[in-house]
Amino acid sequence: TLDTPQRLFFALWPSDEARAALAGWRDALPRPGGRPTAARNLHLTLAFAGDVDAETRTCLEQAAARVRGEPFSLPLDRLGVFKRGLLWTGPADCPAALSTLAGDLAGVLRDCGVRPDPCPFHAHITLIRRMNGRLPGVDPPGLTWQAKAFCLVRSRPGQGYEVLKTYPLQG
Ligand code: 2AM
């Protein structure tokens, strides 16, 4: 029904080329095991809203449209492992435009009555979940994403992600 909560988050969504390059790099890792993120789902979460009702979704859409961010380059020059064997890549140094954007979107969540994740923002793209071993002894991808927009995305358990809205970063 219309009142069924939807699980939403804001994210950077890569171009098809950037996604294919990163998926190709990841798929060439030597025997990592675990559950790789499907190439079509690779993204960087900016602010996680969680399950929200229709009214809150409308609020998020409207508040996000007022965010003014700058386009930026995102070097994927770091590789790391979080708990439960989550292999990620991201920038070694978070670009200022990215920190600002994530902070502004945390403000959007608050303005719409959503409590932002208490964990500090840590820019990362999940490559593999539940990897068995340690950090693979390889260099980071060394690819660079060009961030020209951010997106409001819906997560449907078992069905992947759906980009609902795209907001350009144009200063
Ligand atoms: P993760 O890849 O590190 O798990 C959709 O779930 C996206 O939101 C994922 O990128 C996930 O990050 C991120 N996310 C951030 N906080 C979350 C939370 N509390 N619960 C679920 N996903 C969260």
Structural domains of the chain ordered from first start = 6-168 (3.90.1140.10)
The count of C-alpha atoms lying within 13 angstroms of the C-alpha of 90, restricted to the half-sphere facing its C-beta, is 23
Assign 48 to helix, strand or coil: strand
Mean residue pLDDT of the chain comes to: 94
Q: Evaluate: CB of 155 within 6 angstroms of ligand 1.
A: yes
pLDDT of residue 1: 55
The C-alpha atoms of residue 43 and residue 61 are separated, in whole angstroms, by 19
Give the ipTM of the model, two decimals please: 0.94
Q: Whose CA is nearest to atom 11 of ligand 1?
A: 45
User: How far, in Å, from the CA of 45 to the mean position of ligand 1?
Assistant: 7
Mean pLDDT of 1-14: 89
Please say if the pLDDT value at position 158 is more than 90.
no
**Contact by Cβ (8 Å): 147, 74:** yes
What values do phi and psi take at 62, rounded to 5? -75, -40
From residue 119, alpha-carbon distances to 38, 52, 169 in Å are: 25, 19, 25
What values do phi and psi take at 165, rounded to 5? -145, 145
